[in-house]
Each structure stands twice: as C-alpha cells, then as structure tokens.
C-alpha cells in the first residue's frame, strides 16, 4: 500500500514552487503512516471524510498560516500595471500552487476513496468541450481541470506573453472559468483530504493559498458567490480577520466557530 510516496506524479511534479520545500521523505512516510493509522475509511473506500465533521474549521487549524502578508493589499492592482496582465500573472500562479497543493495528497485521492468530485454536500460533474456532462471520479475531475487550465494558460492566443499581442475579448470570462475550477479543487482538498494535509503539516500552506486566492477573486469579482457558498463557513473564518485573515492568530475571534452550513445539492 505504501508505494512510492516520495515522488509526485509526473504530470504534477513539473512545478518548482516553494510549498513543498523542506518536505523530506522520512517526514512524508511518518505522516502517511499516521494518516493510515487514524483513517477509518473502509477498504472499499465508501464514505471517506464526508461523514465526519469539518476538521478544517477547528480554530487550532484555521489559525495556521505560512506568512503574515496582508493579502488584502497584495491583491490590489498595482499602479502602472495593466489589469489583464495582472489577472493573467496571478491566475497562472494560483493554478501552479493549487496544482502543487493537490499533488501533495493526490495519492490519497483515488477512484475508490473519491468516487465523485465532492465538496460538502455538493458534487461536481465535468462538462466536456461540447458542454456534455461527464460523470467522473474526483481524480479524473482534477485531471480534467489541470489539463484544460494548462492548455489555456499556455495558449498564446489566450494568455499572450509576447510584446504586441493582445488579450482576447473573452479573457475575463476564461479567467473566471479557471478560478471556478481552482476553487473546486481547493474545496475538495479541504473537504476530502484535510486530514492528510494536516498529517503532512501542509494546512498552513493550504490556508494561506486559500486566503490569497479568495481575496484576489473577490477583488476582481472572479467567483460567483453562489459558487463559493459551499465553503462560506471556512471563508468567513479564514478571510475576515484583519488583513484578510493573514495575521495568523485571529481565526477564533471571527465568524461563527463550528457553524454548520448546510448547502443544498446542486
């Protein structure tokens, strides 16, 4: 069962961003063993974390951050920078970070443990290029997300990098689409893989990434509030402190601790 923990899947290992810095095989191995010991998942994988309470809302976890940056200030469009350039550069960075964060738990996200792409009571279906619904498991959904976003951010016609090339008129709506998908992946990590993230001691990275991403999306209206409602309880706790919750010690004083947010199925 404990096969090859130390290598990331090839398609996800392409990024050299900081979140995994300092992760050593020994630590990963210990963490995985801890998770497996604690895991109550049945061998057939039915009902993973879904039945359990939202561990990610516990104050000792929501406090965890890797930096004290004031993300509310950091996300604002700097003077002299073109809006589309700012959206493009940040969206690409968020894609890389979400991809990397998912790669840390991807070996636990299988067709057996996650038969559907679930976040709380919501299950997402993928829609193919013709708009047809595709029934898929969570890892398949994440693969669809990552490959379609990768295709977009490397397409010169959509994310131009060369001097003189212009952004397409559909640029903003494509950025919104990407943000929606990245939100689903982050949501799935919290909902179905927070325990593993905790065991790997990467919840500070996850919280930090989430706060930065949500505040950026909020600043430029990139996410539909109906879309993000599924994690409103988490967002409230993480993003409502001074500086957008970046201060790191404020998770207990805001929002409604432990509030259960029953979201309708969609």
Q: Residues forming the annotated binding site for Zn(2+)?
A: 109, 114, 188, 193
* Residue 18 C-beta: closest distance to Zn ion, Å: 24
State the nearest-atom distance from the C-beta of 153 to Zn ion, in Å.
Answer: 23
- Interface with Zn ion, residue 118, by CB under 5 A: no
Interface mask toward Zn ion for 188-217; x: CB under 5 A: ----x-------------------------
35 lines the binding site for Zn ion (CB under 5 A)? no
CB of 220 to Zn ion, least distance (A): 29
The reply to whether 49 sits near Zn ion by the rule CB under 5 A is: no
Residue number, 152 or 192, with CB nearest to Zn ion: 192
Identify the residue whose tokens are 């990552």.
146
Q: By rule CB under 5 A, what count of residues binds Zn ion?
A: 4
Q: What is the 3-state secondary structure (H, E, C) of the chain?
A: CCCCCCCCCHHHCCCCCHHHCCCCHHHHHHHHHHHHHHCCCCCCCCCCHHHCCCHHHCHHHHCCCCCCCCHHHHCCCCCCCCHHHHHHHHHHHHHHHHHHHHHHHHHHCCCCCCCCEEECCEEECEECCCCCEECCCHHHHHHHHHHHHHHHHCCCCCCCCCCCCCCCCCHHHHHHHHHHHHHHHHHHHHHHHHHHHHHCCCHHHHHHHHHHHHHHHHHCCCCCHHHHHHHHHHHHHHHCCCCCCCCCCCCCCCCCCCCCCCCCCC
What track of x and - describes contact with Zn ion for positions 80 through 109 (by CB under 5 A)?
-----------------------------x
Mask of contacts with Zn ion, 122-161, x by CB under 5 A? ----------------x-----------------------
Minimal distance, residue 189 CB to Zn ion, in Å: 8
Cβ 215 to Zn ion shortest distance, Å: 25
- Kindly list the residues in this chain that would bind Zn ion in the complex (CB under 5 A): 109, 114, 138, 192
């Amino acid at each position: 069962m404990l096969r090859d923990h130390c290598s990331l899947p090839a398609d996800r290992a392409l990024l050299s961003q900081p979140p995994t810095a300092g992760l050593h095989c020994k630590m990963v191995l210990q963490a995985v063993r801890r998770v497996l010991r604690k895991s109550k998942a049945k061998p057939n994988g039915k009902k993973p974390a879904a039945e359990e309470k939202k561990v990610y809302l516990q104050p000792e976890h929501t406090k965890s951050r890797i930096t004290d940056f004031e993300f509310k200030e950091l996300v604002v469009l700097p003077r002299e920078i073109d809006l589309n350039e700012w959206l493009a550069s940040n969206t690409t960075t968020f894609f890389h970070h979400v991809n990397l964060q998912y790669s840390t738990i991807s070996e636990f996200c299988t067709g057996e443990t996650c038969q559907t792409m679930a976040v709380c009571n919501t299950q997402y279906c993928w829609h193919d290029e013709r708009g047809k619904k595709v029934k898929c498991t969570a890892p398949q959904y994440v693969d669809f997300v990552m490959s379609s976003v990768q295709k977009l951010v490397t397409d010169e016609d959509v994310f131009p990098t060369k001097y003189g090339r212009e952004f397409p008129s559909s640029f903003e709506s494509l950025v919104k689409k990407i943000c929606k998908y990245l939100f689903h992946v982050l949501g799935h990590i919290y909902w179905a893989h927070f325990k593993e993230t905790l065991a790997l001691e990467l919840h500070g990275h996850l919280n930090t990434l989430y706060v930065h991403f949500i505040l950026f999306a909020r600043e430029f209206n990139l996410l539909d509030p109906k879309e993000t409602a599924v994690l409103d309880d988490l967002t409230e706790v993480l993003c409502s402190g001074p500086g957008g919750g970046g201060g790191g010690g404020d998770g207990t004083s805001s929002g409604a601790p432990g509030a259960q947010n029953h979201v309708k199925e969609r």
